[in-house]
Amino acid sequence: MNAVPDPSRRRFLRTGALVGGGLVIAFVVPGAKRFAMAQAPAAASAGAAPFAPNAFLRVGIDDSVTVLLAHSEMGQGIWTALPMLIAEELDADWSKIKVEHAPAAPAYNNLAFGNIQGTGGSTTTWSEFDRYRQAGAAARALLVQAAAARLKVPAEQLRTENGVVVSGEQRLRYGELVEDAAKLQAPDPKSLKLKDAKDWKIIGKPTPRLDTPEKITGRAQFGMDVQFEGLRTAVVARAPVFGGKVKSFDATAAKAVPGVRDVVQVPSGVAVIADHYWAAKLGRDALQVEWDLGPGATLDSTALREQFAKLSLTPGAVAARAGDAVAAMSGAAHTVEVEYAVPYLAHAPMEPLNCTVKIDADKCEIWTGTQFQTVDQQVAARITGLKPEQIFIHTAFLGGGFGRRATPTSDFVTEAVEVAKAAKVPVKTVWSREDDIRGGYYRPAYVQHAKVGLDAEGKPVAWLQTLVGQSITAGTPFAAFTIKDGIDATSVEGVADSPYVKGTPAHRVDLHSPDTGIPVLWWRSVGHSYNGFVMESLVDELAHAAGKEPLEYRRLLLKDHPRHLAALNLAAEKFGWSKPLAQGRGKGIAVHESFGSYVAQAAEISIENAPDGSSAIKVHRVVCAIDCGLAVNPGAVEAQMQSGIAFGLGAVLHSRLTLKEGRVQESNYHDYTVLRMHEMPLVEVHIVPSTEKMGGVGEPGTPPIAPAVANAVFALTGQRLRELPLQPAPATAPKA
């Protein structure tokens, strides 16, 4: 059948339409106040170009079911989880499932974010749980209706299974029905009945990842893999300090490098454009640039650490308050007063930043691994003078993101569009890892001062805590959603709403958000990444001060928090918390809620002494328990807990950024160290059976690992390490 000629947008949004051998489904998206639809490509035999899909599902005459992801796959497993939702309600043949990243379009806006298409905050699976299931149910309803008409039997007498509609001995493949089904009126979403959980065959079952074969064979295309005829490669010389600007440059030597085609100035620096990366890099090395460094040349991380510590002793903006904590403190039987600190951290994804841009008179195409399609589309439209709908985002696989590919400024996309515009040819702009680590966005450094008063039984009666560190949203469009009364909610999450703080009759949490000029951004688990470390280490200190066993003390303080307790108790049970460890081993435990999920981790460690007298922490085993509500794909939940632990351990044992004279000193994995393969502990993951509200899993595995390890070091050696990365004293002997 031929494609529908010049269909109107309104018509497509109102009804399903057949487009050359595929079924396009239209349905109302609950809560999104819009219709959405998916398009199938035109039949190859017709020689027509496929329509750009702009919703979640298409069914082909070959029985294939193509699922379009509104979110970006960056290793978290949604390439599999979202198709599971559609396949469940569609009763699809799982072997026929195909997956694509969706284009940038309003139909794919993140329901948790509102008016932008983006991936982050561990929102993907829970926010799409209903929308993607409804997409599958709508498709199934149309296919059943088409089969009923063909077989001349009531639809109620038909059933579906594994990609076919069944009536007695008769079986009709979905592919046989798409042409008839596409002519039908889309079903009223209110008429769709989703399956009961007891009838699920896919959801809740461990399911192998659909993207694994592509990544094993090398067929998977990441942003760095994009290549086509006429494409040039660029690298940009950027200021060596934050806020620096180009005063002048001499491109003579750079242009003499074989393969260099052009050198152009862009807002972020000077771009060297060449036939390939190595020529561009050598050209940049030869480039002579004189910089106006500005005030950023005075930045020093040691001085900032001292400034933050002093500021933490002064009142700030109030993030949480109950009673009179100062007065209550004076009546406490015991007090614990401590300072904790964490450094600036880079995201350091395995695939460095890159973005390919091709600008034509009436459109701009962008190929990149991105977490923020809508923002990218908007900035590209502003730079090119095109309309947002003329900006086409081709989302590639992301070789790691951790928040770095979701900047409010779309910095690397903005730069790439500026470079392509100046070069007047298609260009792939590539950041080396050194570029990103020395000039990218960072997890902010924080210093926290806490004073907690305990009664005679060891329970907190007064809690004072002050946090000092940069806001990640101040000065960005996101500030309107995250900052209220001077408090960036992402700065104090996990403290201001902590059950320990809220359970203390008199408490006050203050925040200082100094502006240092260092660009900061969300990093995997955001504020929880440092607040989890502080709170669970601090609670361990309170247990020691109260003379209580750490696990029992947590049980006491969390007695009214069943989800915390469920994760904590399961982790302790599976770890064998009550059993003695081998000589020279220590154990620590932590539990933390973030992104709607509750994660507890117990760690077993030892201290290894080097011949030079230095000491290092060896993490042997981690037992993790998570209550994330429904686990759509338990295998993916397990993988994400392992991933979050590995990511967090890099910061626990090694990672930090230091600045001297405005320059970041670290540059690559040799000096900005992440966890090595040989350092990965044995990790067990256990999922708490739960019918509670679904939470995320991409980030919650990271916060508990730092305090679990720090608490284990204390249990073994008596050293209370309050700063990351953890650095035990040399030649530490086991605690007596």
Distance CA 461, CA 327 (A): 10
Bridge partners for 242 per DSSP:
none
Query: How sure is the predictor about 736, in pLDDT bands with cuts at 50, 70 and 90?
Result: very low
CA quadruple 396, 402, 408, 413: dihedral sign: negative
Q: What is the DSSP secondary-structure string of 242-257?
A: TT-EEEEEE-HHHHTS
Distance CA 261, CA 309 (A): 50
Distance CA 168, CA 488 (A): 61
Total Cβ atoms within 10 A of residue 711: 28
Query: Which residues are CB-contacts of 582 (< 8 A; sequence separation ≥ 6)?
Result: none
Per-residue pLDDT at 439 exceeds 70: yes
Name the nearest CA neighbour of 71 among 121, 36, 110, 115.
110
- Please answer whether residues 280 and 234 qualify as being in contact, where contact means their C-beta atoms are separated by less than 8 angstroms: yes
Task: Write out pLDDT tens, residues 341-385.
Answer: 999 999 999 999 999 999 999 999 999 999 999 999 999 999 999
User: Could you tell me the two tokens for 373?
Assistant: 């399609």
The mean pLDDT value for 441-462 works out to 98
In the chain the domains, ranked by start, together with CATH numbers, are 9-216 (3.30.365.10), 223-294+353-430 (3.30.365.10), 301-344+443-717 (3.30.365.10)
Interhelix angle 124-151/174-182, rounded to 10 degrees, is 90
Distances from the Cα of 80 to the Cα of 87, 469, 633, 725, angstroms: 10, 37, 8, 35
Total Cβ atoms within 10 A of residue 501: 23
Going by DSSP bridges, is the β-strand pair 232-238/269-274 parallel, antiparallel, or unpaired?
antiparallel
Distance CA 230, CA 219 (A): 22
Bridge partners for 236 per DSSP:
271
Task: Write out pLDDT tens, residues 459-501.
Answer: 999 999 999 999 999 999 999 999 999 999 999 999 999 999 9
Distance CA 276, CA 688 (A): 51
User: Could you tell me the two tokens for 489?
Assistant: 């909610």
**What is the share, in percent, of the chain residues with pLDDT greater than 70?**
92
Amino acid at 164: V
Task: Write out pLDDT tens, residues 379-427.
Answer: 999 999 999 999 999 999 999 999 999 999 999 999 999 999 999 999 9
Distance CA 363, CA 371 (A): 21
Q: Looking at per-residue confidence, does 730 or 291 come out higher? A: 291
Query: How sure is the predictor about 610, in pLDDT bands with cuts at 50, 70 and 90?
Result: confident
Q: What pLDDT, on the 0 to 100 scale, is given for residue 13?
A: 29
Going by DSSP bridges, is the β-strand pair 170-173/57-60 parallel, antiparallel, or unpaired?
unpaired
Task: Write out pLDDT tens, residues 82-132.
Answer: 999 999 999 999 999 999 999 999 999 999 998 899 999 999 999 999 999
Name the nearest CA neighbour of 187 among 137, 259, 238.
137
Total Cβ atoms within 10 A of residue 62: 12
User: Could you tell me the two tokens for 700?
Assistant: 């919650």
Q: What pLDDT, on the 0 to 100 scale, is given for residue 735?
A: 53
Q: What pLDDT, on the 0 to 100 scale, is given for residue 385?
A: 98
Instruction: Work out the mean pLDDT of the chain and round it to a whole number.
Output: 92
Query: Which residues are CB-contacts of 288 (< 8 A; sequence separation ≥ 6)?
Result: 249, 250, 251, 252, 253
Q: What pLDDT, on the 0 to 100 scale, is given for residue 17?
A: 32
Per-residue pLDDT at 453 exceeds 60: yes
Helix (H, G, I), strand (E, B) or coil at 704: coil
Distance CA 202, CA 218 (A): 27
Task: Please name the residue that has the structure tokens 């903005």.
Answer: 414
Q: What pLDDT, on the 0 to 100 scale, is given for residue 669?
A: 97
User: Could you tell me the two tokens for 115?
Assistant: 């008016």
Distance CA 58, CA 612 (A): 63
Distance CA 594, CA 701 (A): 9
Q: Which helix (H) or strand (E) holds 637?
A: helix 634-653
Q: Looking at per-residue confidence, does 29 or 600 come out higher? A: 600
Per-residue pLDDT at 45 exceeds 70: no
Distance CA 68, CA 54 (A): 8
Distance CA 695, CA 643 (A): 17
Name the nearest CA neighbour of 347 among 416, 436, 471.
436
Distance CA 438, CA 238 (A): 10
Q: What pLDDT, on the 0 to 100 scale, is given for residue 33?
A: 31
Burial of 515 (C-beta count, 10 Å sphere; 0-12/13-18/19+): exposed
What letter would DSSP give residue 46?
Answer: G
Which range is least confidently modeled, 41-50, 367-376, 677-686? Answer: 41-50
Name the nearest CA neighbour of 629 among 211, 122, 202, 194.
122
Per-residue pLDDT at 18 exceeds 70: no
Task: Write out pLDDT tens, residues 571-609.
Answer: 999 999 999 999 999 999 999 999 999 999 999 999 998
- Please answer whether residues 641 and 699 qualify as being in contact, where contact means their C-beta atoms are separated by less than 8 angstroms: no
- Please answer whether residues 680 and 646 qualify as being in contact, where contact means their C-beta atoms are separated by less than 8 angstroms: yes
Distance CA 734, CA 736 (A): 6
- Please answer whether residues 539 and 557 qualify as being in contact, where contact means their C-beta atoms are separated by less than 8 angstroms: yes
Query: How sure is the predictor about 613, in pLDDT bands with cuts at 50, 70 and 90?
Result: confident
Report the predicted TM-score, pTM, of the whole model to 2 decimal places. 0.92
Helix (H, G, I), strand (E, B) or coil at 475: coil
Amino acid at 91: D
Q: What pLDDT, on the 0 to 100 scale, is given for residue 190?
A: 85
Q: What pLDDT, on the 0 to 100 scale, is given for residue 22?
A: 55
Per-residue pLDDT at 78 exceeds 80: yes
The mean pLDDT value for 549-564 works out to 98
Q: What pLDDT, on the 0 to 100 scale, is given for residue 120?
A: 96
